[in-house]
Each structure stands twice: as C-alpha cells, then as structure tokens.
Homo-oligomer: A and B are copies of this chain.
C-alpha cells in the first residue's frame, strides 16, 4: 500500500534487537471523566493490541521503553514504570501476528522472529491526554484512545496485562503522587477527585478529599475558574513538586 522502506522491525531475523524480549505498554489517559488507554488496530483484521516495542542491542531496557513510548505519543517526560513480566508459554501464538503481517502484504517466513515466543516486560505510563499525539507503529494502522470501562477484545493476553496494570496503578495511587500525571497543568479539585474516583472505582468524600490533598502541601492555588455555570467558581490548582 505505501512505498515506505520496510522498517527494520519487520526484517526477518530481528537483527539489532534483543531476541525474544518485548515491551508492552498500558498507556493511561484521562478525559471527560473516563480512564482511557491507547490501542493499536490493524487494517483488514479485527485485532486490537497494546502498543509494543523491542529493545535495541545498544540500548538500556528502560531507555528502550522511553523511546517507544515517545514514538507512540510524541511525549518524553512522562511517568513510566515497569509493573510485571509476562512469560507464560501460552503467550506464544503466532497466528495473530501472521494475520497482521499478511494483511499488510507481508508473507512472513515460518521462522520470522516476530512469530517466535516472546517474554514481555509490562510498563504502564500516565500521560496528559491533551498533550499526546498518538501515532501508529509500522505494522498498525491506527493508534487511538479506548475507554477502559468498555474495552473491546484484545489480542493474546493483553487483557490480562491491562488488568495487572490497572491493579498496579490503584495500589500505587495512594502511595505515590502519580495521579497528577494524568491531568493538565491546571485543574480543579473536582477534576482531581473525579480522577481518583475513576481510578479507584469508588466514591470519595468531597470535604475529606479536599483537606487531604491540600494537607499534602503539593498544590498551589491559582485564580478561580469561571466556567459559566450558575455556581461558585472553583479554584484552579497546579501541582508543585516541592
């Protein structure tokens, strides 16, 4: 379909990459009171997959993760963390990848490296929805946001990976101050509370939440936000790291 040079990821032997090792990403965003994640889709197939990448032989693992994340989102300085390694043999099912390549006009050799068994390191990222510019990878045709609450079926064990990422996000949320990575630079207290409630999937008490957040001493109060609504204008806040 296009005349682009074949990207090196599709070369049959995977030269230059660490063999058998991949990175899968659960990239969280938050918009209109919904948690979302980025998924890749493939033309002429009904497959959906998590963004993924490989590690160059000259690269640190974590640097590879940052690189691929930037390739998919255009963003570099992002919260990004490992959460689990998926290494079951049952992950090894070459059929979907073969279907994807064939739909792309590539007829892979039986021994094509992308059809072999992969162990995958799971990373989850938290990004400002408004800043990301999702970009598909060389094999996919779209990279788009999907509501976490109503995910369609995913390839292979990617559903499991998302689930584990969400669990990690939930337990990390109240130990570290990571939630702010999902919001814009300025936000109202209601925005923040809604984010927490969505992630934790439980209602929180308004006054207690406000006091708790303010008592952390990490929020700077800015001007009020006049939304046009017939009610008191809420303050805007900004996250200050120190």
Contact of A21 among B89, B119, B175 (CB under 8 A): B119
Q: Is the CB of A58 within 8 A of B89?
A: yes
Q: Is the CB of A85 within 8 A of B57?
A: no
How many copies altogether? 2
Contact of A18 among B60, B119, B175 (CB under 8 A): B119
What 0/1 pattern do residues 50 to 82 of A give for CB contact below 8 A with B?
Answer: 000001011111101000000000000000001
Among residues 69 to 122 in chain A, which have CB atoms less than 8 Å away from a CB atom of chain B? Answer: 82, 84-90, 117, 119, 121
Instruction: Tell me the interface secondary structure of chain A in the complex.
Output: mixed
Chain A interface size range? 20 to 34
Cα-based distance from A82 to B62 in the complex (angstroms): 17
A171 within 8 A of B: yes
Q: A64 to chain B: which residues have CB within 8 Å?
A: 87
Cα-based distance from A82 to B119 in the complex (angstroms): 14
A-B residue pairs in contact (CB < 8 Å), sample of 7: A18-B119, A19-B19, A19-B20, A61-B119, A62-B87, A64-B87, A82-B85
A positions within 8 Å CB-CB of B: 18-21, 55, 57-62, 64, 82, 84-90, 117, 119, 121, 171, 175
